[in-house]
Structure 1
């Protein structure tokens, strides 16, 4: 199946298990990608995180059940995975603006969030130029961040804050450049066993790793490389959105498990003519 068919299969699976805990691995298998990729992709495609979509769908169905009058509030709460009435009440009010008891008695204004369906929107207004490269494995040294409690779904926002906090340490990282390829300042989303490991501002280098930094090896991969022109982070975020919503569904490629690379080619990252690249690991669609 292609990407859109896989995503719709994941949504169908989700609808059948709305009362169960969110099973990232099962959903990722249905979507034909890793859990890391699904978490990254979903907000770009839908404008919301997957847990938020699940919450909205659960509360849509819960409101319908309460209006039907076939169950008490506590029973509906359990039906959709809430053992605590307080947690269910809070989630319900966040979606509908009223308490479950008010919805049960009728007359309250409620919100409905329909089931998602993924379709291909052919825009074609602007071409998306790319090239395919075979990149051998390379060693990077830099400052890692985002491990532990970094939520992959808001990785773009986290990365923006991370770069701002990095400040003058960028010069310490750049000082490690020794002609190794790929040249330039890199931002790498590193994975381990298909799961998010960390985000790292780094350079490819054979230089020794300083005590206050870390080193990783980015595995060999086939990459689709996209050029980006414009100020960071807006231009990069817009490019990622186009890659995942326009290019990937129609490309004949799949997002392969691996490390995503952002390559910054000019020193003034916030300048209007700032140049950078996105390297997306890919494989032929199956």
Structure 2
């Protein structure tokens, strides 16, 4: 079964559980990935977060139910997993621009968000060159992230993280003596969940004070080249890999540690070179 088919199976699971609490873990299993990966992948494919998609679908169904004059707002709220009428009213107004009570009035305009279906789009753009690399586990030394990184604010936190790390980059590069060579940005994943981010290098050198040692597990990687300011070019590459390459590649995104490799000291130069290393397994 292809990644595209698995993603549509996940959408079917979500659709079937809109009433009550959506079973995100079951949806992730249907997609053949972890919940964390599904939530990361979804915005690249749908241009909206998974949480917002679910909210829109719930509120679309709720609006339809409220058109029944006998329907009570509290009953509809409970049907779609909201124990608090206030929370339901807030979510409803965010989607429709009116309160649930106002939605029952004749002539009120309501929004409708249909169920998504993922399809393969052939765009005829430049080919996506990649190579498959079998990588044994490797030791890294670097500067670990601190605090909680929620999916919704991870990008913003990553930007500030790199600003804070910049003064230590040359010291890190001086430790590099292994493969993959150069400065790395590793997003660790353990048991299908985010387990920290680290600017680091592959090395057997002793760990300096203020830094940390971790091991990136052995994995099969699909490696993609990137050219341009990483603050924009890398995000665009992620979008193409997850929306264009992965669904038709014959691979699935493995629940492992993602690696970005920065080959140019000035990561924000127009000709900066970098790589995306995506852990993959053959799709079943």
TM-score, scaled relative to structure 2: 0.96
Superposed, 1:161-172 pairs within 5 Å as 161-172=160-171
Unmatched 5+ stretches in structure 2:
none
After superposition, give the CA deviation of every residue in 1:87-135 in whole Å (9 maximum; x if it has no partner). 1111111111111100012221111111111000011221000011111
Q: Distance in 2 between matches of 1:149 and 1:18?
A: 28
CA contact (8 A) 1:152 1:196 kept: no
Partner of 2:25: 25
Partner of 1:74: 74
Q: Distance in 2 between matches of 1:257 and 1:82?
A: 31
Cα deviation for residue 157 of structure 1 reads 3.9
CA contact (8 A) 2:13 2:23 kept: no
Partner of 2:241: 243
Does the C-alpha gap of structure 1 residues 24 and 63 become closer, same or farther in structure 2, counting only changes over 3 Å? same
Cα deviation for residue 153 of structure 1 reads 5.1
SS of aligned partner of 1:201: strand
Q: Distance in 2 between matches of 1:61 and 1:242?
A: 32
Q: Distance in 1 between matches of 2:153 and 2:128?
A: 24
Q: Distance in 1 between matches of 2:140 and 2:190?
A: 15
After superposition, give the CA deviation of every residue in 1:21-74 in whole Å (9 maximum; x if it has no partner). 243321110111112211110111111111111111111111110012241011
Does the C-alpha gap of structure 1 residues 38 and 183 become closer, same or farther in structure 2, counting only changes over 3 Å? same
Q: Distance in 1 between matches of 2:46 and 2:159?
A: 21
Partner of 1:221: 219
Cα deviation for residue 258 of structure 1 reads 1.0
Q: Distance in 1 between matches of 2:52 and 2:158?
A: 21
CA contact (8 A) 1:188 1:202 kept: yes
CA contact (8 A) 1:186 1:203 kept: yes
Q: Distance in 1 between matches of 2:217 and 2:70?
A: 55
Q: Distance in 2 between matches of 1:207 and 1:70?
A: 71
Aligned residues: 284
Which shifted more, 238-247 or 19-28? 19-28
SS of aligned partner of 1:188: strand
SS of aligned partner of 2:230: coil
Does the C-alpha gap of structure 1 residues 210 and 24 become closer, same or farther in structure 2, counting only changes over 3 Å? farther
Which shifted more, 205-214 or 272-281? 205-214
TM-score, scaled relative to structure 1: 0.95
Q: Distance in 2 between matches of 1:238 and 1:203?
A: 24
Partner of 1:139: 139
SS of aligned partner of 1:168: helix
Partner of 2:257: 259
2:206 to 190, 205, 208: 208
Superposed, 1:1-286 pairs within 5 Å as 1-145=1-145, 149-152=148-151, 154-177=153-176, 179-286=177-284
CA contact (8 A) 2:56 2:95 kept: yes
Q: Distance in 2 between matches of 1:205 and 1:88?
A: 52
CA contact (8 A) 2:185 2:197 kept: yes
Query: Alignment RMSD, CA only?
Result: 1.4
CA contact (8 A) 2:144 2:212 kept: yes
Q: Distance in 2 between matches of 1:241 and 1:270?
A: 19
Does the C-alpha gap of structure 1 residues 111 and 84 become closer, same or farther in structure 2, counting only changes over 3 Å? same
